[in-house]
Structure formats: structure tokens, C-alpha cells
Amino acid sequence: MASLPPGIDKPGYDRNQPVGVVHLGLGAFHRAHQAVCFDALMAAGACGWMICGASLRSPRVAEQLNPQDGLYTCRVRDAEGERRQIIGAIREVLVGPDDPASLVAVMAHPDTALVTLTVTEKGYLLDPQSGTLMLDAPEIRADLAAPDQPRSVPGLLVAALGARRAAGLPAFTTLSCDNIPDNGRRTRQAVLAFAAALAPDLAAWIEAEAAFPSSMVDRIVPATTEADIDALEVVAGYRDAAMVKTEGFTQWVVEDWFSDRRPPLETVGVEMTDDVAAWERIKLRLLNGSHSALAYLGALAGHDLVHQAMAAPGFDGLVNAIRDEAEPTLDIRAGFDAAAYRAALVRRCSPLNRSSAVISRAGSASSRP
């Protein structure tokens, strides 16, 4: 991607500015969601929010992005057409298992103020029933035995926070972006339990000094295929192994609780709030409830795609009735426009929204709302 065709510009901001964000679990969703927000933030003039991404499993993403200097294409397609943008927010990608000490060092660096995560629910190593850290898990046992070579998410976070404490630096903010209710509380619970098992005085410092805000994310990001990469090369004139594709709709709600520098994310459309749970209820009742009904009943009616079910007789009335019933139960937040949100949900089910979810044979929708 060193040479781009006319009309496709690289970011205009200084990409040599400091890394302020470390992201654990660098996949397509982060590149189509949070990284796009930080790209917009720096394009608007904010400084010090470049991202160092970390893969905690495979080196594949690093092999795709590092040769491209962290640049990649975000391809957005919806009812308004297709738009392509080169995202430049990612400085480099580390592979955690290959060099955990380097990953800990970048999190412990004075410039780093924020660590974000998309590691899936399993990455937190919390017991599904009790919600407590699984201290007997092999990854946790290994990290407690060798805390200077951590591999688990709790181990990495505690090692980096411990290094910051030893250096007299403030704790970074740890922001989970996984699609898990109360994700901030759960992250904090995992980190404090690991720290308590390792060094109770460090656990006390983290409990007093570190912020773990909750967040809610919503954007459909289908997996990128080789056919997608080939198609982009045909229409755009360059090959991008790290491209992502997504829909036009995007939403990020973040609890306004930070222990170090706070990025002005509200200036690029992120909703900063003291009550993420209220926004989660809006999403669950207006989006997820009607979407699940549409998926299950649509599959039973023989449809393969969400937009096919929405176009079939009766389904739009069903979806509207579910949302009409749900809306009065919601604690509508200031600044939330229910009518506009519902109209956006309708557009997301349009056949022109090529990121529209697929209905599986089991009747569920494959998306990441």
C-alpha cells in the first residue's frame, strides 16, 4: 500500500505522534470500530492517540498490517453506496505470545493512557456461573508462576499495571469493548483477583487507582474473505491483505470513568455516559429482541438473509410491533432519538446494506450487534 491510486488518500495527520492506546485482541471488529474512531479523533486535531495493537494468538494480523505500515482499508457499504477510507491509527502490531515482555513494556510506557480489549468472553477467564476468575485455569497458573512472562489477559494487565506503579506512573484506563454486559466490572474483577493472588499490595493499588469503564459496541463486521481482497484490488487498484468491510451504522457508548488522560471521543460521535446499562437496554430491546424474532421466524419461513425476511409479507409489521411494545419500557437517555434509531435499524436490514446479517440454519443471526 505504499502507492495508492488517485482519490484514495493516506491520513493527513502525523502518524509519528505518540502511542496512547494499546489494544489487546486486534481483529477485524476493532479495525472497523474503535480504530476508526481514533483515526477520526486524530484527523480532527487530537494528538497522542495512535494505537499499538496486539494479537494474543496468531501472528496473522501482524503479518498483514506491519508490512503495510499499519495502514488498511475500511470499506463501508450501505443503502447510500460504498465508501473506502484508509485508516492510519494503528502504528504497529505485536504478537503477545512471541514477546510478552515487549507488550507489557508498551502498556507500561508513560505515553500509554488507555488499554482497550476485544478478546471475547473467554479471554477474561471468568467462571461462567460465578463470574470469578478461574485461578485453576492453566493460563492463570502459568502466569502466577512466571508473572514476568504473562500470556493471559489478566496476567498481562497486572504485569503492566505493576510496572507503572513501580515507575511512579498513574494507572492506565482499561476499557473492554467486548459484547458482554457489565464488561468493565468483569474486567476489573478478573484483574483484581489475579493481582490479589500475586501481590495483595498491588491489588490494593489497582483497586484504588485504576479505572475500568464499561462500554457498549454495535457494528456489523463480517469476516473478510480472499474474494473481498481480490474485489478491492479490481475496483481500487491496490491489494490490501488487512482490509475490513462493514456497514454504515456504528455506535460506541463509553462510561466516563478514566484514571489517566481521557481521549475526547465525544467529539467523534462516541456517547460518553455515566450509565452504559441504560444504553444496553435500548439496544437489547429495540435491536436484539426484534432481530432475534426476525431471524428465528425468518429461518422457519425459508429465508436465508435478514433483508429477505424483512421484505416478506408481515415481517415489517411484526418488527415494528415488537419495538412499539419495547420502547415505553426504556429509560431514554438524554440525546437519544428513538425515532432516528429505529429508522437506522430499518436501514440496517435493507438489501442495499451488504453487511446485512445471514440467518443460519439454527435461526440465529450472524452479526456482532
Query: CA separation (Å) from 45 to 49, 74, 250?
Result: 11, 21, 22
What is the per-residue pLDDT across 175-232, written as a single tens digit (0 to 9) for each? 999 999 999 999 999 999 999 999 999 999 999 999 999 999 999 999 999 999 999 9
Q: Are 238 and 9 in contact (CB under 8 A)?
A: no
Domain-located, residue 206: yes
Q: Which residue has the cell 489487546?
A: 24
Kindly state whether residues 258 and 303 are assigned to the same domain. Answer: no
Domain annotation covers residue 260: yes
Domain co-membership, 82 together with 198: yes
| Count of structural domains, the chain | 2
Pair (170, 158) in one structural domain: yes
Q: What is the dihedral sign for C-alpha 253, 328, 220, 42? A: negative
Q: Is residue 2 part of a domain?
A: no
In a domain, 10, yes or no: no
Domain that holds residue 73: 19-274
pLDDT of residue 367: 41
268 and 282 belong to one structural domain: no
Q: Give the CATH number of the domain where residue 294 resides.
A: 1.10.1040.10
Which run of H or E residues covers position 365?
strand 365-366
What does the longest C-alpha to C-alpha distance in the chain come to? 64
Residue 6 domain-assigned? no
Give the CATH number for residue 62: 3.40.50.720
Gap between the Cα atoms of 207 and 165, Å rounded: 12
- Nearest CA to 22 among 92, 88, 119, 73? 92
Task: Flag whether 296 is in a domain.
Answer: yes
Decide if 57 is inside a domain: yes
Output the tens digit of pLDDT for each of the chain's 369 residues.
Answer: 555 666 667 899 999 999 999 999 999 999 999 999 999 999 999 999 999 999 999 999 999 999 999 999 999 988 788 899 999 999 999 999 999 999 999 999 999 999 999 999 999 999 999 999 999 999 999 999 999 999 999 999 999 999 999 999 999 999 999 999 999 999 999 999 999 999 999 999 999 999 999 999 999 999 999 999 999 999 999 999 999 999 999 999 999 999 999 999 999 999 999 999 999 999 999 999 988 988 899 999 999 888 888 889 999 999 999 999 999 999 877 778 999 999 999 888 876 665 545 443 333 333 444
The CA distance from 132 to 289, in Å, is 28
Q: What is the mean pLDDT of the chain?
A: 91
